[in-house]
Structure 1
Amino acid sequence: MLLRPSRRDLLRYGALAGAGTLLPGSARSAPDPWQRAADIARTVRAPVFPARSFDITRYGAKGDGVTLVTEAIAAAIKACAAAGGGRVVVPAGTFLTGAVHLQSNVELHLAAGATLLFSTDPAHYPMVFTRWEGIELINYSPLVYAYKAKNIAITGSGTLDGQGSAEHWWAWKGPWGGTAEHGWREGMPDQRKSRAVLFQMAEDRVPVEKRVFGDGHYLRPPFIQPYLCENVLIEGVKIRRSPFWNVHPVLCRNVILRGLDIMGHGPNNDGTDPESVDMMLIEGCSFDTGDDCIAVNSGRNEDGRRIGVPSQNILIRNCRMKEGHGGITVGSQISGGARWVFAEKCRLDSPDLDYAIRFKNNALRGGLLENFHYRDIAVGEVRRAAIACDFNYEEGAKGRFTPILRHINITRLHARHATRVLDSQGLPGAPVTDIALRDCSFDGVTQPSILRHTERVTLARVRVNGRSVTALDPLQPS
């Protein structure tokens, strides 16, 4: 049976998200916005599970890397949920599996030396209701999926291996200019036609149950996707070689990503894409990815506006970003809006990292983006600019919706090598506004900043190449 959220689900969640869920009367009226970040850290709590264990080998799983154990894992999860919850244990060994579907009150625990090796056969991923690049559809199940579940977790020191490679999954992207060999050659099938069809269906408001893709459409599944879930913990595990996005919580509340080691340089291998989430903590994670390390999203174009739920109340701290298009990114699937995103004590450094802090939007998306607070950010090397605000992303001005980006506050960002300090390009009639840099330094700068359709950029105690500046030297419009 294919599931999708009811209108009641969306109305209920949208109403709560629109209210800005936080402890009553605390940070909302406080003059220091970082009090709100403290509230997020205090409020978001990991789920607690009964002290019961269900070893998947008791249900017939063999850790030989060859025997398909999908049914054994499903049986262990079912038994655990039926007993009232607990821990499903993957012991040491390599277990070949298809899609894993979590249920409420179940913790999937990968012991030391355990690997869940996900099958490369698309037939092992049944059709489910999901989101793909910000649009609802029926498509292959994510490798690990949960729908409308409460109290779920993936924990341990083991590895989840999606087996994305030039031989499997990645070639479905089609043309791509990334750093990894992804296997596609001219004449091979790819996602482009189906992607365009899906996008048009969303614009035409075709009912979701008629947006059926899967076999022959080449839309890669994400790795881990909890959908409409509450109280989600993903902690400690290594995540490798995703077919597509790595960790993609959608319409979830109270989410923790902690101590994750995420690596995969394939196309669209975003580290995590929180989409229309409320109350989320991302801490102590390492990202080495083929796309944005963190990309906060809230739906694409008409679908994002139809659902209309922003991402908000997200705290990112003590994370490490290596390769990727952007380190801490907002957009571009952002039509539902985003607000109150905080980041602190993060390190971003790689010659293959394009931007440290990045915002992406355009006039097809629209959406209100406001209240972004970043502090104590260490940037080693970035290829392009330390900070980028881009309303020309993809389709740029080819739309009738006004993107809004305002109130970006960055304190104590220190960059050792950034080609530019700031590349901020709004649109005519839709400027980026209110960017404040305080106590920041930028070295290795060789190009002037780009400031187009950007208003109210303020600097306080900012140094560029060792020289104190009160304004950025912008590249003049051509």
Structure 2
Amino acid sequence: MALTRRTLVQAGIGAPLLAACAHRPTPHPARHVRVEAPFDMPGITVPDFAASRHFPITDFGALPDNQARTSAAIARAIDAAHAAGSGVVVVPPGMWLTGKIHLKSNVNLHLARGATLLFSSTPADYLPAVPTSWEGIECYNYSPLVYAYDCENVAITGEGRLKARLDVWQLWYARPKPHLDALIALNAMAVKGVPVVERQMAYAGADLRPHFVQFNRCRNVLVEDISIDDSPFWVLHPLMCRDVVIRRVKVRAHGHNNDGVDPEMSENVLIEDCVFDQGDDAIAIKAGRDQDAWRIGVPCRNIVMRRCRIRNGHQLAAIGSELSAGIENVFIDDCHFERGEVAAKTALMNLLFVKTNERRGGFVRNIFMSNITATRIAGAALSVETDVLYQWRHLVPTYERRLTAIRNLNVRNVAVDEARSLCAISGAAGMPVRKVSLRNVRAGKLLGAPVTNSNVEGFSIA
């Protein structure tokens, strides 16, 4: 299914925030990025703001150390840039306290070198609740710190920094019973097909942490040169987006669920020349969870990650476990893992990790990884697990059993100093993993058997 505006709106809520970004003026200046891949990778269109008018937030009343004034000024500057048809909202050097930021079409949020946007950790600053998702299930929750909904031609650029205060969010990293009860309730609403607008999760005790940056149902997205420190939840989350480029971004976030980039049900995504220093996966490619994703029916496809460095993280590239709408055409190339300053706390497990379970359904196909180097990893160059449920194993039962079809996994030219194995695949007995190829995958030291596979058909290694 192609990601048209109509399908995106029909897939979700269709709703209240459409007016914020639905204005469609004359075509915006654009740049076209061509990407080589082992599959038919379409060109990617990103906005070009080179000739756009600048809107410094200080012209709209922003004051250092004054969160209320700065938040209001950023919102007014975004409104003005949007009304002008195109504009660059400039955050000048200095420390600027702010609450949530909601982008609009044809707007570039630009952080000058030496500028830091320091985001509040007061949950009330991220209300009212907005349409978003939690681990693959749609809901209304606290606004992401930076949020764009149904926008086109949006960007975050510059050599400045986005930083999250963690005072409250880190308390929410724990998962006490009220939080787990909220997850059970949200899952039940998805299973029963409760309308998304009725899935209101921003209540005391639920503690569903917001994403740092979420582009939700957007087109032509550019994130370039910025640094991001810390995060309540996933750091960069393109959800049901088309044409996304994330380049030369530095992410350092070691909190719970702090993936670097989570492209979900999106297509035509390029992630290049980035540095990831994570408490979770560097990149985690997703496609929604269970009944919600089957309803939406939008796969994640045409994802390229290249020339990135991973200083810490769980996986270099994870596929899933939220993948129920399907994932295809992924290319990870020319990336390097190096042990960073907190390597003892965050051990890289696998270079490519496909994870699913009996509830997900969907598919994974045409996945390519090549030209990767790493120091020491605790797992394998390629790992596939088909029984990954985490806390959900005991929270809710399997309402509907659907296995995931996994095929055509290709790993080439990988050199690891130390690993547990080269390949570890645990396929489902009722649906074996098919067509797996490893070529020139080497480890200086192996702590276990080179290959430990079960339920695999068409495996080759050379």
Q: Any conservation in 2 of the 1:423–1:450 contact (CA below 8 Å)? A: yes
Q: 1:393: which partner in 2? A: 388
Amino acid of the structure 2 residue aligned with 1:202: A
Q: 2:295: which partner in 1? A: 306
Judge which range, 66-75 or 241-250, deviates more: 66-75
Q: 1:192: which partner in 2? A: 180
* Equivalent of residue 246 in structure 1, options 235, 239, 242: 235
Other structure's SS at 1:77 match = helix
Amino acid of the structure 1 residue aligned with 2:132: T
Q: Any conservation in 2 of the 1:68–1:96 contact (CA below 8 Å)? A: no
Q: Any conservation in 2 of the 1:173–1:191 contact (CA below 8 Å)? A: no
Other structure's SS at 1:439 match = strand
Amino acid of the structure 1 residue aligned with 2:184: A
* Equivalent of residue 226 in structure 1, options 201, 215, 226: 215
* Equivalent of residue 377 in structure 1, options 372, 376, 395: 372
Summarize deviations over 1:348-400 as a string: whole Å, max 9, x none.
23351111111111111111110011111112211222221010101689551
Deviation at 1:173, TM superposition (A): 2.8
Amino acid of the structure 1 residue aligned with 2:141: N
Q: 1:11 to 1:123 in 2, by over 3 A?
A: closer
Other structure's SS at 1:383 match = coil
Q: 1:8 to 1:382 in 2, by over 3 A?
A: closer
Deviation at 1:322, TM superposition (A): 2.5
Q: 1:322: which partner in 2? A: 311
Question: Partners of 2:103 and 2:37 in 1: how far apart?
Answer: 36
Deviation at 1:51, TM superposition (A): 2.3
Question: Partners of 1:210 and 1:422 in 2: how far apart?
Answer: 44
Q: 2:156: which partner in 1? A: 154
Judge which range, 327-336 or 342-351, deviates more: 342-351
Question: Partners of 1:6 and 1:301 in 2: how far apart?
Answer: 22
Q: Any conservation in 1 of the 2:315–2:353 contact (CA below 8 Å)? A: yes
Q: Any conservation in 1 of the 2:11–2:295 contact (CA below 8 Å)? A: no
Q: 2:52: which partner in 1? A: 51
Q: 2:100: which partner in 1? A: 99
Other structure's SS at 2:305 match = strand
TM-score (norm 1): 0.84
Question: Partners of 1:455 and 1:35 in 2: how far apart?
Answer: 22
Summarize deviations over 1:43-63 as a string: whole Å, max 9, x none.
113211242000001111112
Deviation at 1:219, TM superposition (A): 0.3
**Cα root mean square deviation, aligned:** 2.1
Q: Give matches, 1:2-17, under 5 Å.
A: 9-10=9-10
Q: Give matches, 1:133-148, under 5 Å.
A: 133-148=135-150
Deviation at 1:7, TM superposition (A): 6.4
Summarize deviations over 1:116-164 as a string: whole Å, max 9, x none.
1001111111211111111111111100001111100000011100112
Q: 1:33 to 1:287 in 2, by over 3 A?
A: closer
Judge which range, 85-94 or 61-70, deviates more: 61-70
Other structure's SS at 2:288 match = coil
Q: Any conservation in 2 of the 1:238–1:260 contact (CA below 8 Å)? A: yes
Deviation at 1:34, TM superposition (A): 2.0
Other structure's SS at 1:34 match = coil
Question: Partners of 2:443 and 2:361 in 1: how far apart?
Answer: 31
Other structure's SS at 1:248 match = strand
Q: Any conservation in 1 of the 2:382–2:411 contact (CA below 8 Å)? A: no
Question: Partners of 2:76 and 2:37 in 1: how far apart?
Answer: 47
Question: Partners of 1:411 and 1:81 in 2: how far apart?
Answer: 46
Q: 1:464: which partner in 2? A: none
Q: Any conservation in 1 of the 2:39–2:329 contact (CA below 8 Å)? A: no
| Structure 2: unaligned runs, 5 residues or longer | 13-33
Q: 1:218 to 1:268 in 2, by over 3 A?
A: same
Q: Any conservation in 2 of the 1:253–1:279 contact (CA below 8 Å)? A: yes
Q: 2:173: which partner in 1? A: 173
Summarize deviations over 1:25-71 as a string: whole Å, max 9, x none.
x99xxxx96253xx44xx11321124200000111111236655211
Percent identity between matched residues is 39
Q: Give matches, 1:264-413, under 5 Å.
A: 264-350=253-339, 351=343, 352-394=347-389, 398=398, 400-413=401-414
Q: Any conservation in 2 of the 1:297–1:311 contact (CA below 8 Å)? A: yes
Q: Any conservation in 1 of the 2:381–2:414 contact (CA below 8 Å)? A: no
Amino acid of the structure 2 residue aligned with 1:453: N
Q: Does 1:452 align with 2:441?
A: no
Judge which range, 438-447 or 99-108, deviates more: 438-447
Q: 1:114 to 1:209 in 2, by over 3 A?
A: same
Question: Partners of 2:367 and 2:334 in 1: how far apart?
Answer: 15
Judge which range, 410-419 or 145-154, deviates more: 410-419
Other structure's SS at 2:46 match = coil
Question: Partners of 2:98 and 2:6 in 1: how far apart?
Answer: 30
Q: Any conservation in 1 of the 2:422–2:441 contact (CA below 8 Å)? A: no
Q: 1:209: which partner in 2? A: 197
Q: Any conservation in 2 of the 1:364–1:401 contact (CA below 8 Å)? A: yes
Judge which range, 77-86 or 437-446, deviates more: 437-446
Deviation at 1:435, TM superposition (A): 1.0
Question: Partners of 1:403 and 1:438 in 2: how far apart?
Answer: 25
Question: Partners of 1:307 and 1:11 in 2: how far apart?
Answer: 5
Q: Any conservation in 2 of the 1:64–1:93 contact (CA below 8 Å)? A: no
Q: Any conservation in 2 of the 1:253–1:280 contact (CA below 8 Å)? A: yes
Amino acid of the structure 1 residue aligned with 2:384: C
Residue correspondences, number: 421
Runs of at least 4 residues off by over 3 Å: 5-8, 65-68, 395-399
Question: Partners of 2:322 and 2:240 in 1: how far apart?
Answer: 14
Judge which range, 64-73 or 274-283, deviates more: 64-73
Q: 1:23: which partner in 2? A: none
Q: 1:382 to 1:65 in 2, by over 3 A?
A: farther
Q: Any conservation in 2 of the 1:173–1:190 contact (CA below 8 Å)? A: no
